[in-house]
Structure 1
């Protein structure tokens, strides 16, 4: 017998923080700002000979694509469930986050290699031009980060784009400082050093997003306290055992949970009440969005929590 929650709200009311109201106008201006920065830094990097500026330009170019992809994925994720996608389209955002983070990881690795080469063979750099272009990039990046900061806390997809922008903001500060050092003291080796530090920082921040998106896409178990769940449910009246538990996530907020519940022999109407009590417990105490329970009476010989 499979009991679904018909009496409780399955409309995912707890998901209002999935930035479904992400502003198209906000995304448009962030994209425009990043396009301006990219063009300015490519020209400035070539004219000044600064690898740090060119690395910043590459990051900003990837930002423009990443933000556009995030916006499209966000809109796809809001499509209602249908016969082809009974779980909905929420994983479009997880795919976008994974793609964005992976691209940024690859670009950062390439820049580390280029920084090492530049360190071994230093080139003359125009520090004044570096400062001017980096200042433009810093202001534009700061505005972009401000526009997406709020949404990034509640959505892994937007967070991946926000990390792009945050990395470039930090990068612009580094390039600006490097330009000052080159102009005042002629220390050209600081340019590849800044590139290296920026790239390592971005790799560190990006790795978390990649790891989490891979877990979701591979349907890894949701991060729940399973022992507490087992103890809490098995304390309930008329419940003998909970076993064959499965859990997964469609995005970073939506948790699915299914299990077999061994109950005392009773009428169907009584079993439904026990199921409702378990569902309420899981939602209120463990933040689980969707619950599917199979009630049974001594049916499974294997009573382990997780079936092998």
Structure 2
């Protein structure tokens, strides 16, 4: 279930790259012809989104690689690391956009072309929002930090293009400084998403668990196995898309080693079958 959904998320991320490149090129062309800082800023932002989708795609690919002699616990955190790189790229681009827009704000001027520029901006808004809602449906199935970042980034791109549209529209009405202000606002969108993503990625890289609902469920599953007296000390940590953990159970001191192995095997199989995100669970036993 998880891997089939992961395949779907990879395909969507791959298609996003092409959509972002095509849309970004159209925005850059009209922005250059018209002299709109807002649309040029949005085009740079869009090209960066293509890079983000590319990083997401390769991050999802690498996270599925099997453990080897160097990475004994697998490559699960690669997708979180890729989301962190994406956030850093967004911060750099955001600073560049704000700087360019600020320079234009000091010397506002009318645009050379208005109607085609506004059409491109509103079409970009529609494209990004449709693509974003498609990603939302997939992100509900796949608990991937990188893919969720890519989803938020796509929706944010829609708001960014809409902001560019209003900047051009207000410039058309004679308020030329709003084209530059729209560019600054677009930079603000970028900083907000980058901050949220950096925060989430930091929690994963510090082994925090983003699934508190799993604790009670794991205890319930383990206690349901015959021979288990008590369950405590459940510890979980997120490793990108998946979760690893360990639990301690109490059993009868007269239990044989063979029976104990059967119990731990049954607990492990039940947990993995009922919680798809659990990739590894270590079970320790103590005498009650």
TM over 0.5: yes
Contact 2:64 2:75 in 1 (8 A): yes
Deviation at 1:140, TM superposition (A): 4.4
Q: 1:119-138 maps to which residues of 2 (within 5 A)?
A: 119-126=105-112, 128=114, 129-138=116-125
Greater than 4 Å deviation, 4+ residue runs = 26-29, 225-238, 276-289
Contact 1:63 1:164 in 2 (8 A): yes
Give SS of 2:176's match. coil
Q: Which of 16, 38, 42 matches 2:24?
A: 38
Contact 1:255 1:288 in 2 (8 A): yes
Q: Give the RMSD, CA atoms, in angstroms.
A: 3.5
Deviation at 1:158, TM superposition (A): 2.3
Q: 1:216-255 maps to which residues of 2 (within 5 A)?
A: 216-224=204-212, 228=216, 239=229, 242-243=232-233, 246-252=235-241, 254-255=242-243
Q: What residue in structure 1 maps to residue 164 of structure 2?
A: 175
Contact 1:141 1:166 in 2 (8 A): yes
Q: What residue in structure 1 maps to residue 285 of structure 2?
A: 295
Give SS of 2:7's match. coil
Q: What residue in structure 2 maps to residue 100 of structure 1?
A: 86
Q: 1:189-268 maps to which residues of 2 (within 5 A)?
A: 189-224=177-212, 228=216, 239=229, 242-243=232-233, 246-252=235-241, 254-266=242-254, 267-268=256-257
Q: 1:83-98 maps to which residues of 2 (within 5 A)?
A: 83-98=69-84
Structure 1: gaps of 5 or more residues? 1-13, 299-308
Deviation at 1:127, TM superposition (A): 5.5
Q: Cα distance 1:27–1:238, how it changes in 2: closer, same or farther (>3 A)?
A: closer
Q: What residue in structure 2 maps to residue 51 of structure 1?
A: 37
Give SS of 1:258's match. strand
Q: Indicate yes or no: 2:164 matched with 1:166.
A: no
Q: What residue in structure 2 maps to residue 151 of structure 1?
A: 138
Structure 2: gaps of 5 or more residues? none
TM-score under structure 1 normalisation? 0.73
Q: What residue in structure 1 maps to residue 61 of structure 2?
A: 75
1:56-86 alpha-carbon deviations (Å, 9 max, x no partner): 0111111122222222222223333344433
In the alignment, the residues of structure 2 paired with residue 181 and residue 222 of structure 1 have an alpha-carbon distance, to the nearest angstrom, of 43
Q: Which of 138, 141, 151 matches 2:128?
A: 141
Higher helix share: 2
In the alignment, the residues of structure 2 paired with residue 195 and residue 256 of structure 1 have an alpha-carbon distance, to the nearest angstrom, of 43
Deviation at 1:186, TM superposition (A): 0.8
In the alignment, the residues of structure 1 paired with residue 128 and residue 276 of structure 2 have an alpha-carbon distance, to the nearest angstrom, of 38
Aligned residues: 281
Deviation at 1:36, TM superposition (A): 2.4
Give SS of 1:219's match. coil
